[in-house]
Amino acid sequence: MSAGRNLAAAALVLGAAAPFAGSPHAASRATLDIEALAAAIAAGEDHVSALQLAQWIRDRKPGLRVIDVRSPAEFAGFAIPTAENIPIEALTRAEFAAGDTVVLYSEGGAHAGQAWVLLKAKGVARAYFIAGGLADWRDEVLSPVLPADASPAAQAAFRPIAELSLYFGGAPVAGPAGSAATQMRPSSAGAELAAIRRRGC
Amino acid sequence: MTPPRPYANPYVAGVGLGLVVLACFLITGHGIGASGAFAHVATGIVAGLAPAVAAKNSYFASYLSDGLPWTAWMVLEIAGVIAGGAASALLARRFRPGIVAGPSLKVGPRLAFAFGGGAVMGLGAVLARGCTSGQALSGGALLSVGSWTFMAAVFIAGYAVAPLSRRLWR
Amino acid sequence: MSAIVLPLVIGAAFGWTLERAGLGDARKLAGQFYLQDFTVLKVIMSAILTAMLGGFWLGRLGIIDLSAFYVPETFLAAQAVGGLVFGVGFVLCGLCPGTSCVAAASGKGDGLAAVAGLLTGVLATGLAMPVLEPLYTATALGTFTLPQLLHVSYGVVVGGVTLMALAMFLGVERLERRA
């Protein structure tokens, strides 16, 4: 049975070497350009606001993929419309097209920020996350605030935000006099390098 | 009449089978299967005879959402299995109409057990989402826990029932 | 066009290999469970080793993307029960879904009966799905592999499975020489 013996020898060699060979999954061996990543983070090019995402969803931005990195149970409870559920441990195996704009979110933003690093390591060109997570979505999109004593200019600036909120089934809230209105923060996804106030991370 | 050819070395045949599974993964991204073809055909039958029943049944509805059952990937694959098996049998002079059974089993009971055993396997394959080809071979090669569990369970049950079914085979 | 030709060719290679190994013969298959004929074990384990080692090394060498291979999801209870049921049916029938087609293709009447029985069983089980649903969907663990279960690296499991299979082959060869 020399055929069997040869095959067994080959299997033995290949099998015995396997534990020392590292991971067979390409994604496990991805490399990070940490200089480039650090620069992107400092420039605020790593995240977008919840309102920006809402605008992209409503305007059906081509190639937009909204990824919820929480567990399936949390996703079933509530999710941003058009979101796909890819839990963070499955993210490395997910496939993204070259022209895709991927926006990640999690409950508070921490996991989404980590997922952003994973996607950059995978080579996704346009990846962003919602810095404040679903909390930002609830605050900015579902319940945007307009203080009771807002100036006419502020009211005019708020109108598109109110429309966006209603589109997603939210309801603008009248805030106490003197409080700050919810604002469409300048988009960090692009050439503008504005210092963005971040909540939680 | 020239005698039939001897069977191939099982290790060599196994490696060949493994290469077919690997090639299937490389080309299609999924493994081979067999029970899936039966599920597609069953779906086609139910949908043809009682479309309302098929639509309301979660199992058949999920197969229907994959498209036309008769041209499903796995159905075409099984058609290939039949063709390949026939070709090999003919060329090896092993194509001989007849019944294969234990020495003391008559034709009638043999066919009944083949049918009944097949029906029982049908239940098992549906629950397990596959059979020896789809779960044990394909899922087993990719180290799926469910596939290895299925394989272990098959062998455990087989060895447990075998002593009780001696009359079928010995 | 290739959507039709490809599965046919893959299936043909599958069926050809099964028949060459003699797995279209119910007595040969059943013989595994009487410790008389170990062809089933040899073929299955050799096939698993080949596909597993092939996938591992091609992935490690970057020739293929192993993550692109679809891993069947784990439904632990359903697959354990399903396996037990399948094993019972297998000893009664002597053929599995793939080999029953090969047997039928070789002109065997018991192959045809098995195919008919399988179709009936699948159909009946599908109709009974409302009753079976709790078991069918129980313990859904998603994509769950042995490395994840055992908390060891993929390569370690590959090595372990290889050694286990080779040990099985050695044991079986010894049993056969004594017979």
Choice among A67-76, A179-188, B36-45 with the minimum mean pLDDT: A179-188
Decide if pLDDT at C50 tops 50. yes
Q: How far apart are the first and last CA of chain A?
A: 63
pLDDT in tens, B82-122: 999 999 999 999 999 999 999 999 999 999 999 999 999 99
Residues with Cβ < 8 Å from A157, sequence gap 6 or more?
A181, A183, A184
pLDDT in tens, C85-122: 999 999 999 999 999 999 999 999 999 999 999 999 99
What average pLDDT does the segment C61-69 reach?
A: 90
pLDDT value of residue C178: 82
Outline where chain A has alpha helix (H).
2-17, 34-42, 50-58, 72-77, 88-91, 110-122, 133-136, 152-167
pLDDT band at A93 (very low <50, low <70, confident <90, very high): confident
Q: How many CB atoms lie within 10 A of CB B96?
A: 11
Smallest Cα distance from B33 to chain C, Å: 8
pLDDT value of residue B56: 93
* 100-129 in chain B: CB under 8 A from chain C: 100-102, 107, 110-129
CB contact under 8 A, A8 and B11: yes
pLDDT value of residue C70: 93
Smallest Cα distance from A9 to chain C, Å: 9
CB contact under 8 A, C74 and B144: yes
Helix C154-178 and helix C39-60, axial crossing angle in degrees, nearest 10: 160
Decide if pLDDT at A191 tops 60. no
pLDDT value of residue A176: 87
Sign of dihedral through CA atoms C105, C106, C108, C111?
negative
DSSP C117: H
Question: Which residue is it, tokens 């060498």?
Answer: C61
Residue B140 one-letter amino acid:
G
Which of A14, A20, A31, A95 is the best substitution to test chain C (most C C-beta atoms within 10 A)? A14
Residues A25 and C71: their CA atoms lie apart, in Å, by 13
Structure tokens at B10: 């099982």
pLDDT in tens, A1-12: 588 899 999 999
pLDDT in tens, A14-39: 999 999 999 998 777 777 889 989 99
Q: Which chain C residue is nearest to residue B42, measuring alpha carbons?
A: C123
pLDDT band at A150 (very low <50, low <70, confident <90, very high): confident
Decide if pLDDT at C177 tops 90. no
pLDDT value of residue B1: 61
Helix C129-136 and helix C109-127, axial crossing angle in degrees, nearest 10: 90
Average pLDDT, chain A: 86
* Cα C148 from chain centroid (whole Å): 21
The alpha carbon torsion through B39, B40, B42, B47 (nearest 10 deg) reads 140
Structure tokens at A41: 């983070």
Smallest Cα distance from B142 to chain A, Å: 11
Are the beta carbons of B127 and C81 closer than 8 angstroms? yes
Identify which has the larger pLDDT, A95 or A41: A41
Structure tokens at C163: 């050694």
Residues with Cβ < 8 Å from A195, sequence gap 6 or more?
A44
pTM assigned to the model: 0.77
* Averages of pLDDT over each 10 residues, chain B, 170 residues: 83 96 95 96 95 94 90 95 97 94 93 97 97 94 97 97 93
Decide if pLDDT at A190 tops 50. no
Outline where B96-144 has alpha helix (H).
107-128, 140-141
Decide if pLDDT at A195 tops 60. no
DSSP B7: P
pLDDT value of residue A53: 95
Structure tokens at A174: 């009248």
In DSSP terms, which residues pair with C108 in a beta bridge? B98
B66-to-A9, C46, C93 alpha-carbon distances in Å: 43, 33, 30
